[in-house]
């Protein structure tokens, strides 16, 4: 029986093509499983730590006030130690950093950065900071799934898809929302819809949901909300609610950026200490505002008519989230946005409740608040719609949710010029996330999909051997000259040069060429050849001294012309 490594070259060539394949689907499911296992360990660690001092997970109102204010202070100190251990230069966190790595490094995540995200996220969530678990989950998922591609030395275009699979599985394993996780990856992270990407990500999301259901069950966080069908007379008011959600999203995003700008020159340890003090102070007074989103959501479910307390929780949740994320506490923003949206929606439900003297609509408005805030804050309207549908498990929410989402999104974009909070953070951190049209096309094609065998290699030949070989070559076959000494290795192309022949000099022109790993994509080829718009590169498997093929400029040009008519 042949060893599995013997099948790798064929697998690598297959995955270099931007096409749907059974192999990529199976690898996506494997990556999704690894990602889900990492997220399960992450969640169990949080639950295990909180079990020492909380009666119920994320319920910080159940403990004494004296302990409640000590938790975030101790948590901030632990996060600082973790950052010190892993290295401050590796302290890049959350979904914005993952988007940056997807666009510029094919989703390959640094190991020490991942360690900081795992342990820092566990401490932050266990100690009551108002951050979400999806931030570390996205990071861990991308790392776990992309590791499969790196271990098998797959083309980077397929490693990027595997990273997307891990992200989908991570979100699915965090919220038990496989469909919303898949849409979120396509809409926010990858920002594209292609069938060969869509299918493996869908499968990975399913695997993530199945794995988390085996451990945590099938309960959904919003299942306790009483969601009823709204009559048509609610719809004009829902438009007003959408406008309010859009305005609040702008307020949230703009103040987040103000905090990032205000404290950007502060040392990390001082920022974490300030975040711990703010969380301790607000949490001492408003314990329901602490944690990811569970405390705020549970209070909204149990006390939908306590408007004064809901307003207090809303203010506290906004403050804690802004200071936690703005000052660099590891964690995500989606969970707290869910909590803010649910509380705000419950507050807005008081108007129809006063008209009909009935608060039964509070649950429906709570879910609509979550949808509107997610759409306007993250600029993910489709993911928001699918998320509320899955979390609420009630089809009556679809039509009003669509109305609220569209209104909130249009309001925040057109009237407040609000951008996605992720893109705003990327711009602030000066992390590139935009690709040129050519790179966007070429990153999806591995070099093994275009590689040519039309070449001949001569090892340290003399001039007569080169001339004899050139006389026998038939275009487009290329002559590659390998010059190797004890301390250097160089490759050249050799071809006749008519201009040199006319001057009486050597008729052979030698041009240095660069090599690329077989994992590279056509984007790396373009980066090398775009200035001269001619020439070629050679491709190697493991050893740069042994080419396995070449790629010429005319092949690259033909690919671009065929794909997008870019040249």
* 328 and 452 assigned to the same domain: no
* 57 and 48 Cβ atoms separated by less than 8 Å: no
439 assigned to some structural domain:
no
Mean pLDDT of 529-556: 91
Cβ of 84: how many Cβ atoms within 10 Å?
A: 13
171 assigned to some structural domain:
yes
* 509 and 450 assigned to the same domain: yes
* 14 and 152 assigned to the same domain: yes
Mean pLDDT of 213-236: 79
End residue of a domain, out of 219, 252, 284: 219
* 450 and 559 assigned to the same domain: yes
437 assigned to some structural domain:
no
Residue 108 pLDDT greater than 80, yes or no: yes
Mean pLDDT of 109-131: 92
* 242 and 376 Cβ atoms separated by less than 8 Å: no
- The DSSP secondary-structure symbol of 131 reads -
* 76 and 164 assigned to the same domain: yes
- The DSSP secondary-structure symbol of 411 reads I
* 110 and 241 assigned to the same domain: no
224 assigned to some structural domain:
no
- Pseudo-torsion of CA 39, 372, 228, 344, nearest 10°? 90
End residue of a domain, out of 396, 429, 462: 429
- The tally of domains found in the chain comes to 3
Give the pLDDT score at 342. Answer: 93
Binning the chain into helix, strand and coil, the percentages to the nearest 5 are 65, 10, 25
* 157 and 389 Cβ atoms separated by less than 8 Å: no
- Angle in degrees, 0-180, between the axes of helices 22-50 and 8-15, rounded to the nearest 10: 90
Give the pLDDT score at 1. Answer: 41
CATH code for the domain in which residue 292 is found: 1.10.3080.10
- Determine the distance from the C-alpha atom of residue 150 to the mean position of all C-alpha atoms in its chain, rounded to a whole number: 18
Quick one: tokens of 154?
A: 């797959």
* 381 and 478 assigned to the same domain: no
Quick one: tokens of 41?
A: 């360990």
CA nearest neighbour of 375 among 338, 321, 349, 414: 338
CATH code for the domain in which residue 460 is found: 3.10.580.10
Q: What is the pLDDT of residues 309-346, one digit of tens each?
A: 999 999 999 999 999 999 999 999 999 999 999 999 99
> What 3-state class would DSSP assign to 462?
coil
Q: What is the pLDDT of residues 484-500, one digit of tens each?
A: 877 788 999 988 876 65
Mean pLDDT of 144-168: 94
Q: What is the pLDDT of residues 52-91, one digit of tens each?
A: 888 888 888 888 888 888 999 999 999 999 988 887 665 6
Structural domain span for residue 205: 4-219
In degrees and rounded to multiples of 5, residue 304 shows phi and psi of: -70, -15
Cβ of 179: how many Cβ atoms within 10 Å?
A: 18
Q: What is the pLDDT of residues 446-456, one digit of tens each?
A: 999 999 999 99
Q: For the ranges 90-94, 241-245, 369-373, 527-531, which has the lowest average pLDDT? A: 90-94
226 assigned to some structural domain:
no
Give the pLDDT score at 506. Answer: 59
* 377 and 332 assigned to the same domain: yes
140 assigned to some structural domain:
yes
What is the pLDDT of the chain when averaged over all its residues? 89
* 269 and 357 assigned to the same domain: yes
Mean pLDDT of 34-53: 93
CA nearest neighbour of 478 among 526, 531, 527, 538: 538
81 assigned to some structural domain:
yes
In degrees and rounded to multiples of 5, residue 514 shows phi and psi of: -105, 155
End residue of a domain, out of 219, 249, 281: 219
* 410 and 485 assigned to the same domain: no
Residue 36 pLDDT greater than 50, yes or no: yes
* 359 and 470 assigned to the same domain: no
Mean pLDDT of 150-169: 95
* 548 and 481 assigned to the same domain: yes
Q: What is the pLDDT of residues 423-466, one digit of tens each?
A: 999 999 888 888 888 888 899 999 999 999 999 999 988 888 88
52 assigned to some structural domain:
yes
Give the pLDDT score at 90. Answer: 56
**pTM reported for the whole predicted model:** 0.91
């Amino acid at each position: 029986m042949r060893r599995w490594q013997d099948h790798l070259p064929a697998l690598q060539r297959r995955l270099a093509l931007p096409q749907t394949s059974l192999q990529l689907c199976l690898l996506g499911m494997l990556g999704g499983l690894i990602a889900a296992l990492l997220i399960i360990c992450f969640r169990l660690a949080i639950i295990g730590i909180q079990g020492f001092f909380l009666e119920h997970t994320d319920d910080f109102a159940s403990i004494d006030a004296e302990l409640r204010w000590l938790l975030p202070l101790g948590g901030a100190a632990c996060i600082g130690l973790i950052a010190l251990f892993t290295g401050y230069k590796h302290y890049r966190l959350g979904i914005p950093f993952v988007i940056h790595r997807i666009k510029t490094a094919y989703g390959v995540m640094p190991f020490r950065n991942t360690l900081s995200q795992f342990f820092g996220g566990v401490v932050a969530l266990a100690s009551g900071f108002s951050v979400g678990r999806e931030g570390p989950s996205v990071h861990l998922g991308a790392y776990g799934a992309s590791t499969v591609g790196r271990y098998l030395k797959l083309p980077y275009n397929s490693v990027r898809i595997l990273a997307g699979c891990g992200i989908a599985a991570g979100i699915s394993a965090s919220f038990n929302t496989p469909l919303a996780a898949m849409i979120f990856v396509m809409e926010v992270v990858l920002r594209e819809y292609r069938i060969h990407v869509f299918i493996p990500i869908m499968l990975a999301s399913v695997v993530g949901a199945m794995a988390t259901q085996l451990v945590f069950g099938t309960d959904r966080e919003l299942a306790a909300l009483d969601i009823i069908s709204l009559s048509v007379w609610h719809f004009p008011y829902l438009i007003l609610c959408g406008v309010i959600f859009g305005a609040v999203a702008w307020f949230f995003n703009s103040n987040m950026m103000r905090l990032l700008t205000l404290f950007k020159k502060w040392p990390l340890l001082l920022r974490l200490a300030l975040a711990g003090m703010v969380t301790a102070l607000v949490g001492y007074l408003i314990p329901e505002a602490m944690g990811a989103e569970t405390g705020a959501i549970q209070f909204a479910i149990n006390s939908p008519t306590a408007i004064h307390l809901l307003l207090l929780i809303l203010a506290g949740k906004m403050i804690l989230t802004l200071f936690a994320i703005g000052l660099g506490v590891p964690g995500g923003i989606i969970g707290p946005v869910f909590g803010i949206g649910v509380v705000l929606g419950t507050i807005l439900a008081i108007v129809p409740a006063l008209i009909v003297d009935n608060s039964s609509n509070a649950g429906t408005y709570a879910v609509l608040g979550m949808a509107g805030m997610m759409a306007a804050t993250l600029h993910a309207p489709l993911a928001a719609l699918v998320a509320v549908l899955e979390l609420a498990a009630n089809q009556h929410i679809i039509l009003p949710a669509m109305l609220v989402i569209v209104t909130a999104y249009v309001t925040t974009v057109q009237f407040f010029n609000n951008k996605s909070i992720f893109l705003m953070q990327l711009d602030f951190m000066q992390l590139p996330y935009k690709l040129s049209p050519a790179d966007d096309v070429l990153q999806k094609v591995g070099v093994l999909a275009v590689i040519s065998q039309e070449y001949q290699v001569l090892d340290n030949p003399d001039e007569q051997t080169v001339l004899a070989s050139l006389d026998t070559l038939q275009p487009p076959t290329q002559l590659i000259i390998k010059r190797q000494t004890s301390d250097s290795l160089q490759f050249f192309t050799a071809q006749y040069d008519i201009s040199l022949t006319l001057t009486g000099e050597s008729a052979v022109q030698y041009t240095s060429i660069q090599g690329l790993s077989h994992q590279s994509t056509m984007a790396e080829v373009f980066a090398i050849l775009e200035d001269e718009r001619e020439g070629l590169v050679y491709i190697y498997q493991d050893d740069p001294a042994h080419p396995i093929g070449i790629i010429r400029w005319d092949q690259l040009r033909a690919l671009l012309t065929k794909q997008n008519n870019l040249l």
